[in-house]
Chain A
Amino acid sequence: MQNIKAIFNKSYSKYIWIVIILIVWEAVAKLTPVSPLVFPSLELIGAALLNSILTGDILFQMLFSLGLIFVGLIIGVVLSFVMSSLSVISPVFESFVDTCISIFDPLPGIALLPLIILWIGTGTKAILFIIVHSVLWPMILNMTAGFKSIPTIYKKIGQNYEFSSAKIIFKIYIPASLPYLIAGLKIGWARAWRATISAEMIFGASGGIGGIGWYIFNRRVFMDTPGIFAGLVMIVFAGILVEDFFFVKIEEKTVKKWGLS
């Protein structure tokens, strides 16, 4: 028992679980009388993925979606940074931001779709709008919570050194609330994916080859179930890559090193 526990405490335990899930998957696909249209085997999914990589646009579609998410996240981070900084400084603005959050945060971007079609249209701008909308509010919540969690004594020390407001925000608030900011970024990343995929599935290839959501939708309407899974595998792969390399590295370099978490 001890040995088993030790294995699952390691950082690679995620991959052990993935292998177990894949084995169970293959066993179900092979040993039960389930239709490959419903539950394709790993070979079929692998072949579909390989075929899409070699002959299709899946890699470019993936890059297209990632690019949209990247731009959306940057806009979201900048906006939420401005709004939460202002609401830390000014109580009037704080109540405005609070009102915005309680109005917009529970609204799913997809529910706004009919309006977005009428106001912005169906192009890349519309997809970006949905991404920013789904990223912005949870990030503001996290950022303001992070700023508020900072002991007042930190701010007073800054004031003692006669720091300007900007300097207090950049030198004290941001480093001290970084665990919250990173958590906010993680939530934003996950919500941006959801928004992108659902918007792409509806708006299609708005110019060029479209994104990975359009790929999955296309596979679905042409009843290519292994192809649907190939698209999902790509998204999972990108998710793990970003989690294991990007976020883990940032945390190691900052909050872990500083002893904040």
Chain B
Amino acid sequence: MKRLGIILSLLCLVLVSGCTAQESDSHEKVIRIAEQYGIAYAPVQIIKDQGLLEKNCPGVQVTWEQMSNSTVIREAMVSDKLDVGFMAIPPFLIGWDNGMDWKIATGLSSVPTGLVAKDEIQSLQDIKSSDRIALPQPGSVQHILLAMACQKEFNDPQKMDNILVTLSHPDGMNALLAGNDITAHFTSTPYLETELATAGYHEILTGKEAFGGDFSFIVGVTTKKLHDESPEVYEAFKESVAEAIQFINDHPEEAAEILTKYYDYSKEDIFTYLTAEDTEYSPTVKGIRKFSDFMNETNYLKKSTTDIGEVVWENTADAEY
């Protein structure tokens, strides 16, 4: 009996220690943001560098969490470790479809994205079952854009799904340029430009062609908890994003100078990327409905949005549905 007592009390200890970890973070004004790197996320670095959140909401405690992809961000937001994340529209919709309590707060950026292939592949038609296409992951915006193009070209959105290889942008670029089995790579700035500058590779599909128009590449998403319980912080967040975007658009050179601290590129390169014709920083959200309808029709989603209010917080004026 004594031994049973010891086992039970040990069990209780385990349970109690599991619970205490949840108790912290009772600070009043807190915002936890996922920090990601890349030209598409430039306003995020500007917000951090210029302390815009602290300026717009004095006393706020900002926590920056390093995260590498939208799946991790989504999981962190489900388990209440994160209030704000930046991601493309398709991963956001997948979370929304599965019952996550979150909505889009703001647009962030549109950057060039496209499918780069070896020169012997001239179009999607030339991609055989022995070819391999690298992209960040299934369900990513790159994957959905590819599915959209396959729908148009072959009337079969899943046509390429079994020849995909999941590689991060830098690994995908190395694999493509190594010339082994990866014959095409769906990627974005600045990897896209680097690959296109290499002899023997060319772009066979742009994101715009696949989508059939403009769309927001990255949007800012917040949890219902942040939106409802800390409206002040939420407003400050939106304002900060808008200010950072304004700053990049008005002073691209100064912004490029700041970004050299965060990215491994020269000021000139960053300036070129920031001001490229197809790069646009804007708080307006574009393309939700088209993504949503397409993903629903092709069974990547179980339902589609019927009203913009389901997926965007009250600032619907900022969104082109």
- A224 on interface, CB distance cutoff 8 Å: yes
Docked complex Cα distance between A121 and B172 (Å) = 11
Give which listed residue, A114, A120, A205, contacts B164 with CB less than 8 A.
A205
B71 contacts A220, CB within 8 Å? yes
B166 contacts A118, CB within 8 Å? no
A123 contacts B138, CB within 8 Å? no
B71 contacts A206, CB within 8 Å? no
Docked complex Cα distance between A114 and B180 (Å) = 13
Residues of A within 8 A of B94 (CB): 221-223
Docked complex Cα distance between A37 and B311 (Å) = 19
A121 contacts B78, CB within 8 Å? no
- B17 on interface, CB distance cutoff 8 Å: no
A121 contacts B71, CB within 8 Å? no
Docked complex Cα distance between A206 and B71 (Å) = 21
- Considering only residues 43-98 of chain B, those with a C-beta below 8 Å from chain A are 71, 74, 78-79, 91, 94-95, 97-98
- B181 on interface, CB distance cutoff 8 Å: yes
- A158 on interface, CB distance cutoff 8 Å: no
Give which listed residue, B100, B137, B175, B178, contacts A221 with CB less than 8 A.
B137
Give which listed residue, B1, B98, B175, contacts A223 with CB less than 8 A.
B98
With A121-B182, A222-B139 already in contact, the answer to whether A204 and B164 are too (CB < 8 A) is yes
With A122-B132, A123-B181, A209-B162 already in contact, the answer to whether A223 and B74 are too (CB < 8 A) is yes
- A24 CB → nearest B CB, Å: 11
Residues of B within 8 A of A122 (CB): 132, 134, 165, 167, 175, 180-182
With A122-B181, A221-B71, A222-B138 already in contact, the answer to whether A206 and B132 are too (CB < 8 A) is yes
Residues of A within 8 A of B129 (CB): 207
Give per-residue flags for A18-52: 1 if the beta carbon is below 8 A from chain B beta carbons, else 0. Answer: 00000000000000000111100000000000000
Docked complex Cα distance between A55 and B167 (Å) = 28
Which residues of B are in contact with A by a Cβ distance under 8 Å?
1, 71, 74, 78-79, 91, 94-95, 97-100, 129, 132, 134, 137-140, 161-167, 171, 174-175, 178, 180-182, 300
